[in-house]
Amino acid sequence: QTPLVESGGALVQPGESLTLSCKTSAYTQDFAIGWFRQASGKGREGVSCISLDGLNTKYADSVKGRFTISRDNSKKMVYLQMNDLKPEDTAVYYCALDHTTAAWSHFVPQCRPSADFAAWGHGTQVTVSS
């Protein structure tokens, strides 16, 4: 299966900003999308999720107020704007698609890893360090 394609990861200093992108153009249909991350030695966790129409979102408590998820379905793109980055944000960030949401325009899934997120990208590394 053609994977989702993430980009934008980099090495940055604390307090700086990054924007991650997820290209979904391999799919002819829109779905709810989630951003997840996995730090070294830790389990994968949900960061932010967005409904297929872009009208509803969810955020992990650790990033709320700092990160913003958005999408442009005309361009088949999903974005994660990350501000005021902290060392604990260091992780591989993944974009994933919830295959059960094609008929649910306003639905935001529980933003946690599950079998519903059946399509994943290869990930992009974000490192926050002095």
Q: What is the pLDDT of residue 2?
A: 55
Q: What is the Cα–Cα distance from 70 to 34, expressed in whole angstroms?
A: 11
* 79 within 8 A of 69, measured Cβ to Cβ: yes
Q: Running along the chain, 130 residues long, what does each successive block of 10 average in pLDDT?
A: 85 98 88 96 96 96 98 95 98 94 87 90 96
Q: What is the pLDDT of residue 89?
A: 98
